[in-house]
Amino acid sequence: MQRRELMRLLASAGALPLLAPLARAAAGKDDWQTDFEAAGTRWKTGFATPPDDLPLTRATVRGRFPDAVAGTLFRIGPAGHDLGGERYHHWFDGDGMVHRFVIDGADVRHQGRYVATPKRVAEVRAGRHLMEAFGTMPPGVEPPASADSINVANTSVLPLQGEVLALWEGGSATRIDARTLDTLGVKTWRPDLAGMPFSAHPRVDPDGTVWNFGVASGQSLLALYEIGADGALRRAAAVPVPELPMVHDFAVTARHLVFLMPPLVYDTKRKEAGASFLDAHVWRPELGMRALVVDKQDWERRQVLELPAGFLFHVGNAWEEDTPRGTLIHIDYVRSENADAVFTTNREVMRGRLVKRAAPRLTAATLNLGTGKAVQTELALDAEFPRIDPRRVGLRHRHVVHATQTRPDLPGFGAVARTDIETGRSQRFGYGPQAVVEEHVFVPDGSRPGWVLGTVLDFGRQKTVLSCFAADHLAAGPVAQATLPYALPLGLHGAFVKA
Ligand SMILES: [Fe+2]
C-alpha cells in the first residue's frame, strides 16, 4: 500500500492524529537521547523518564518514623525528560511529577503523578515536543501563546488551604489535589493576574502570610504578592527593576523583602533571535550582585546595595536587627562564582555526562540599610537546597539543613548537613559512594530539637530512599528509612504537612 493511500485510510478512520508520533518515531532518536541511553553511568537513572504515573506503593521500612513526622512529604521535580525520541537538553526542562510520601510510623507509601499541565497533555497526545522549554528549543516550535502554555510545574510545592500548589517560576501555580494528586488547573489569584509569573520559592511568615514574587523578564518588572493565611490575595503589584536578572528565590525579614540579584540578565534580542529562555541570559559581572530590599508595607520604598558578583539559586533565611549603626539585614545563601553550572553541568547530565563545576558555598552577608554597605563571608562548606525551621522564617535562626559534599563522580551531593551559621560548626551524614542526595527538610517537634527528613537516589540499588534523622544527632545516621521498590528521577523541592 502506498503511504499516501495509508494516510487517506487512516484519516478517514479518524486516526490521523496518530501519524505525528509514528512519523517522529520512524525518524529515530535525537543525539541526546542516543547519548543518554549509551552512557555507562548508573546515576543517570536520576534523569530518566518514568513512562507513566506511579500508583500508591508501600515502601520497605527500617525503624519507625517519629510521631512528629507522621504526615505527608510532598515533593516535585522534572521527570518527563524525553518524548518520542526527543530528549530535552536541560535538567530543568522536564514535565513536573509531583510525589507524596505518606508517613505513619513503620508504614510509608509513595505515589507519583505527572502534573497534567496543558503543555504535557498536548505533547503526550501528539507524541512529541510541541513547545519550547527553559533550556531547549525543539526544532520548528512557534513562540508560546502565553507563559502558561509552556508551564511545566516542576520546581516546588506550596501546601495552602488543603491543596498543594505545584510551582514553576515563569507562570501560574498549578492546583493539585493533596489526596489524589489530581491536577485541578492553574491558580488565578485575581482575574487581571492570570498567567503572571509566580516564583517557586514563596516565603511563609510565622503568622501564615505568604509572600512571593515573579520575574517578568521581557518587561523588567518584578511582580510582588502578599497572600493571607486564608489563601486570599491581599495585594499584588509589579515594580520596575532595571536590568532585571534571573531571580529564583528570595527572603523575607520582619519588615522587608530581600532579593539577591545575580548579574545574569535577560536579553530580549537574544530571545528574538531564537535562543532558549536560559540562553537569552547574559553573564554581566560588572553589575555585581545587587541586593534589592523592599519595605513589606510600602513597596515603593526600595533600596539597592551591592555585593561582589556571584550566582545563586537559593537563600536559607534572612532576619533584621536595629543597631546604632543602622538596620542590619543578615542573610545566608548558596553562592557560586558564576552561572556555569546552570549553563553546562545541569545541561550535560541530560546526556549522562558530568561536567565539573566549582562547588557552591554557604555564604552569609550583612546588609546595612543605614550606610548602604554590604559585607559577606563565605563559609567553607559546599551546599545546596538550604532549609530552616519553618517557624524561624524572617527571624533570627542558627541552623541550616543542606545538601553537601560535592564529588567529581556525582551529579550533585553525597551528604546531608546541619550547619550552625553563627559558629560555622556543622555535622553531616554521608550516604555512601552510590547515592545522590536530594533536598532534606526540617520538621519541628514542639520544643524538642526536631527532625530532618529527605530523600536520596541510591543508584547502586536503583531505589529511592526516604530517611529521617534526629536534627541534633544527624551524624549518627537515620532513625528510620523507607526504601521504595524503584528509583525516582532526581527532584527539586518539597514540603512536609503534618497529619
Ligand atoms: Fe529552587
Q: What is the mean pLDDT of residues 81-85?
A: 96
Predicted local distance difference test score (pLDDT) of residue 287 = 96
pLDDT score recorded for residue 179: 97
Taking the centre of ligand 1 as the mean of its atom positions, its distance from the CA of residue 429, in whole angstroms, is: 22
Q: How far is the CA of 475 from the centre of ligand 1 (A)?
A: 25
Q: Cα of 490 to ligand 1 centre, how many Å?
A: 13
pLDDT tens for 277-294 read 999 999 999 999 999 999
> Per-residue confidence at 12, pLDDT binned at 50, 70, 90?
very low
CA 155 – ligand 1 centroid, Å: 6
**CA 167 / ligand 1 centre spacing (Å):** 10
216-265: per-residue pLDDT in tens?
998 999 999 999 999 999 999 999 999 999 999 999 999 999 999 999 99
What pLDDT is recorded for position 227? 98
Query: pLDDT at position 201, please?
Result: 98
Q: Phi and psi for 42 in degrees, rounded to 5?
A: -75, -25
Number of domain units in the chain: 1
Average pLDDT score over residue span 327-346: 96
Cα(202) to ligand 1 centroid in Å equals 10
What's the confidence (pLDDT) of residue 453? 98
Place of cell 530517611: 467
pTM: 0.93
pLDDT at residue 375, as a whole number: 97
Q: Which residue has 553541568 as its cell numbers?
A: 345
CATH number, domain containing residue 29:
2.130.10.10
pLDDT confidence of residue 66 = 98
Ligand 1: centre distance to CA 335 (Å): 13
pLDDT at 27: 56
Task: Please give the span between the terminal C-alpha atoms of the chain, in angstroms, as a whole number.
Answer: 61
Query: Ligand 1 centroid to 135 CA: how many Å?
Result: 16
Range of the domain at 242: 3-498
Distance 169 CA to ligand 1 centre (A): 9
pLDDT at position 23: 39
Q: What is the pLDDT of residue 120?
A: 98
- For ligand 1, the distance from its centroid to the CA atom of residue 20, given in whole angstroms, is 35
Mean pLDDT (the chain) is 93
